[in-house]
Every structure is written in structure tokens, then in C-alpha cells.
Amino acid sequence: MPLYTAVKGMNDILPPVSLRWSRMEEDLRLLAARLNYQEIRTPVVESLELFQRGLGETSDVVQKEMYVFEDKNGNKLALKPEGTAGVVRAFIEHSIGIEKPGPHKLFYIGPNFRYEKPQKGRYRQFHQFGLEIFGDPTPEMDAELIYAASLILDHFKVKGEIRVNSIGCPACRPAYRETLVNYFRPKAEELCGDCRRRIDINPLRLIDCKADSPRTRWNDIPVITDHLCPQCASDFDRLKKALEIFHVPFVVDPFIVRGLDYYVKTAFEITADTGGTQNAIAGGGRYDNLVAETGGDATPATGFAIGLERLLSVVPQDFYGAQPLAMGFALYDGGIPALLHLTKHLSHHPVRYMAEYTPRKFKNALQKANKLGARHIFIFGEDEVKNAQVLYKDLATGDQQLFGQHETMTIVSMLMEKEIEK
Ligand code: AMP
């Protein structure tokens, strides 16, 4: 047993998996840039009150899952459990919405922390990539956001199901809430302990209870889509029409309520077969009141976040082939200067390469390269040095070839061509 181990539910990301992570993050950044989202980086720590106010005192995240601590000054702080509240705080603090007209399109990528029971796909430190749009009230913008989410799925060749709903607004939700309370109160005895408490404090959460799902036990639970006010109903129709124009396949799921209190109208989730129980890979929706509730000017907003651990678990294994490694060896001391030159020249090109400067016998170099899983080796022996050449060997095919020591470009194109061939 090592003296120190990682904190429960928090994972090290090691090579070669870290390579998949960084390439996935690069792809997400490129996709975001293409759609004109700009990056926002907010601190990992925020004031506790920001989350209590934003996410709602009754949400599971606030009630049970936050990492809360006091700094030496007695300030109550929390590690961020999600990305939106911090982005909203920064949006207000830096007057982003006041300095330029909207829509403001922002993306973030980074870690979040929730004290949940760890299991496959659910961790205490996990990572999210999120898109947020401020300053546009239209359901068409929600549809564009969902379309962006579908582009991410397509890019990574992930088969996901997009489930959309409208969860109403402060005008129509209270009546639906009441209907749910009236429906579940007589059934209280049959509900789990958490749900019994939810009847009074957060009845909407009851219908997506993970422990003992009421939605699979009763088939006449009232659905919000039957209780929308005319404005929400018309916005929901516009959302669906816009999604059809974008050719985004979706299903309406009237039981999507989202865990955090700030959502209004559009709510959506994306599920995929992750091979475990945690098959929700992304979620989001409209949060028109959050900016005002956080102390800013009323600003409509919409956004979503995708969990990167879960996304990566459904990205096909062969999506990112590891680039084959090239290695350089000298067979005697006299080969070292030429080997150093090769290292210097290859370092300017996108090839995966490393050298070893302790001279070894040819057979020994082959063995070492094999052990490290290298495909290409470059050898400087006495003959090569005498003729200003380098011997190249392809360990996958056995082919050998001599190059001039200055033919760096020819060497690089050969390596790149072989990578494409693969
Ligand atoms: P939420 O903010 O709860 O809607 O989460 C959005 C997405 O973040 C989910 O669909 C998951 O992909 C991911 N996620 C949320 N909580 C966790 C967790 N504890 N561990 C791993 N991924 C998570």
C-alpha cells in the first residue's frame, strides 16, 4: 500500500489515456471556436453563497454534495460543483453584457467537485465542457445550442439520444408543482425517504429520483407539458420546429426536470450507452432569471454542459490512434553529435520522437524500441557517420532505408505518410 493515494472519487489521468483527454479537449476548443464561442476561465473556488443562491437551497447539489470550507479569514467558500454559477458571476462582475450587445457566447472547460457516492461514471472530481449564451431569449437560440451539442456527438462519433422538455416558467410552474404535490401526497408511504422530503421542498425532483424511480412505478404522473402557459407552450413548439430545421433528432421527455433550480422553459439531456448506470452525458437548458437573481441586470441565458469522463467513455476506442513513436540511437560515441542534430531537427515537426544518448548495440536498440512500443528507429553507426547518413528501420514492416543526415524534410514526410497509411 503506498503511503499516499488519490482522494476517493478523484482520479489521476495517466498516459496514454491523458493523450485522449488532451486531444478531446483540443477538438472541443476547435468546435467552440468554429461556432464563435470564446473561452472563459473562472476560479475553482467561489463564495458558498453564490451556489446556494444560484442552484437553489433545496437542490441535492447544495444540500448534500458541495465541498465547503472556510478560509483563514472566515469566508465561507466552496469548490465549484458546476460551471454556470461562476460564469454568471463573472459575466456580471465584468459588465460583459453591458459593454457589448449580446448574444455573448462563452465556453468553459475544467474540473468540478461534488461529494457524491463514487461509482463508474460518477466521481467527486469530474470535468465538464460547457457552452453558455447570454442575451438571447429565443427558443431558436436554445435549438442552436442543442444543435451545437449534436455536432459534438457527431464529431466524436457518439450515438446519443437528445431528450428535450419545457419545464415552464414562474407563471405556470407553481400550478404544476401543486398538481404534483396533490398527486404524490397520498402516495407518500410508497416513496423513498428522499422523495418524501421532496414532496414539500422540491416536488419536481421527485419524478427523476434516481433511487426508486416513481416514473417507472406509476404511469399516470401528471406531466408539465400539459400544464404550460400559452407563452411556454408556444416557445416549446418553436424549439421543436427549429430542431427539425437543424435536422437534430430528438425525443420529447416530459420527465426531464434537471437537478438545479435555475432552469426555466427549455431543459434537455443527452444520454448514451456508457456501459454503466450513469448514462446521462450532457444536460442543460434555459436560465433566464439567474443573472438577475445573482445581482445583475435581467439577462436571458441558455447553456449546457457535457461531462468529459462520460463523453470519453463513449468515444470509440480507435477514434484517436496513438501516433507511432520514432526513436533515435547511436551505436558508438562518435554517433552522438549526429543524433543530437536529428533530435533538434525533428523537434520542429509534429512527429512523436525521442532519443537515447547512451550508445548501444544495434540488437539492443531494437529491443529497447520494441519494449517502448516504437515503430520507427533511426540509427547512427560508424558507416552512417562516415557517409553522413542515418539508417532508418520500420519495425512494423522490417523495411530499412538510408537517408542523408540533412534530409530532415524527407524523413518527416515519410513518417507522416506512414501515419496516414495506418
Ligand atoms: P449536471 O450539471 O448534473 O446536469 O451534469 C451535467 C453532466 O456532467 C452530466 O450529464 C455528466 O456527464 C456530468 N456529471 C455530473 N456529475 C458528475 C459526476 N459526479 N461524475 C462524473 N460526471 C458528472
pLDDT per position as a tens digit, 134-158: 999 999 999 999 999 999 999 999 9
Question: In this structure, are 32 and 156 located in the same domain?
Answer: yes
Poorest-confidence range of 62-66, 158-162, 272-276?
272-276
Domain presence at residue 277: yes
Question: In this structure, are 310 and 330 located in the same domain?
Answer: no
Give the residue from 382, 383, 387 showing the smallest Cα distance to 405: 387
Which protein residue has the closest C-alpha to ligand 1 atom 17? 122
Residue 191: is its pLDDT beyond 80?
yes
Which protein residue has the closest C-alpha to ligand 1 atom 4? 283
Distance 83 CA to ligand 1 centre (A): 11
Residue 368 CB less than 6 A away from ligand 1? no
Distance 389 CA to ligand 1 centre (A): 55
**What's the pLDDT score for residue 212?**
67
Distance 24 CA to ligand 1 centre (A): 17
Residue 208: is its pLDDT beyond 80?
no
Please, which residues have CB within 8 angstroms of residue 347's CB and are 6 or more apart in sequence? 353
Q: Which domain-ending residue is among 287, 314, 341? A: 314
Which protein residue has the closest C-alpha to ligand 1 atom 13? 307
**What's the pLDDT score for residue 404?**
96
Domain presence at residue 186: no
Domain presence at residue 177: no
Question: In this structure, are 343 and 305 located in the same domain?
Answer: no
Q: For residue 295, is it left (φ>0), alpha (ψ between -120 and 50) or beta? A: left
Residue % of the chain over a pLDDT of 90: 80
Over residues 215-234, the pLDDT tens digits come to 778 889 999 999 999 999 99
Q: Which atom of ligand 1 is nearest to the CA of 280?
A: 10
**Average pLDDT over all residues of the chain:** 94
Q: Which atom of ligand 1 is nearest to the CA of 82?
A: 2
Which protein residue has the closest C-alpha to ligand 1 atom 16? 122
Domain presence at residue 196: no
Mutate which of 7, 59, 108, 114 for ligand 1 pocket (most atoms within 8 A of beta carbon): 114
Handedness of CA 103, 107, 113, 119 (dihedral sign): positive
When pLDDT is averaged across residues 178-205 and rounded to a whole number, the result is 87
The CATH number given to whatever domain includes residue 294 is: 3.30.930.10
Residue 285 CB less than 6 A away from ligand 1? no
Distance 164 CA to ligand 1 centre (A): 17
The CATH number given to whatever domain includes residue 381 is: 3.40.50.800
Go through 44-67 and write b for each residue having 16 or more CB atoms within 10 A of its CB, e for each that does not. Answer: ebbebebbbbbbbeebbbbbebbe
When pLDDT is averaged across residues 161-175 and rounded to a whole number, the result is 94
**Range of the structural domain that residue 382 is part of:** 326-421
Distance 307 CA to ligand 1 centre (A): 5
Question: In this structure, are 292 and 357 located in the same domain?
Answer: no
Q: Which domain-ending residue is among 293, 314, 335? A: 314
Question: In this structure, are 63 and 125 located in the same domain?
Answer: yes
Residue 307 CB less than 6 A away from ligand 1? yes
Question: In this structure, are 37 and 153 located in the same domain?
Answer: yes
Residue 123 CB less than 6 A away from ligand 1? yes
Question: In this structure, are 285 and 342 located in the same domain?
Answer: no
Mutate which of 123, 257, 278 for ligand 1 pocket (most atoms within 8 A of beta carbon): 278
Give the residue from 167, 208, 207, 211 showing the smallest Cα distance to 184: 207
Domain presence at residue 155: yes
Residue 280 CB less than 6 A away from ligand 1? yes
Domain presence at residue 193: no
Q: Which atom of ligand 1 is nearest to the CA of 128?
A: 8
Mutate which of 112, 158, 313 for ligand 1 pocket (most atoms within 8 A of beta carbon): 112
What distance in Å separates the CA atoms of residue 261 and residue 62, rounded to the nearest whole number?
10
According to DSSP, the residues that pair with 132 across neighbouring strands are 106, 303
Which protein residue has the closest C-alpha to ligand 1 atom 1? 283
Q: Which atom of ligand 1 is nearest to the CA of 61?
A: 3
Question: In this structure, are 236 and 296 located in the same domain?
Answer: yes
Residue bearing cell 463573472: 90
When pLDDT is averaged across residues 270-289 and rounded to a whole number, the result is 92
Q: Cα-Cα-Cα-Cα dihedral of 184, 189, 190, 194, to 10°?
A: 80
Domain presence at residue 114: yes
Residue 305 CB less than 6 A away from ligand 1? yes
Question: In this structure, are 299 and 331 located in the same domain?
Answer: no
- Domain tally, the chain: 2
When pLDDT is averaged across residues 166-188 and rounded to a whole number, the result is 92
Question: In this structure, are 310 and 368 located in the same domain?
Answer: no
When pLDDT is averaged across residues 388-417 and rounded to a whole number, the result is 95
Over residues 68-96, the pLDDT tens digits come to 999 999 999 999 999 999 999 999 999 99
Domain presence at residue 294: yes
Write the single-letter amino acid at 194.
D
Question: In this structure, are 349 and 306 located in the same domain?
Answer: no
Q: Which domain-ending residue is among 265, 290, 314? A: 314
Write the single-letter amino acid at 414.
M
When pLDDT is averaged across residues 341-349 and rounded to a whole number, the result is 95
Residue 116 CB less than 6 A away from ligand 1? yes
**What's the pLDDT score for residue 422?**
53
Q: Which atom of ligand 1 is nearest to the CA of 258?
A: 4
Give the residue from 283, 282, 285 showing the smallest Cα distance to 263: 285
Question: In this structure, are 394 and 293 located in the same domain?
Answer: no
Residue 160 CB less than 6 A away from ligand 1? no
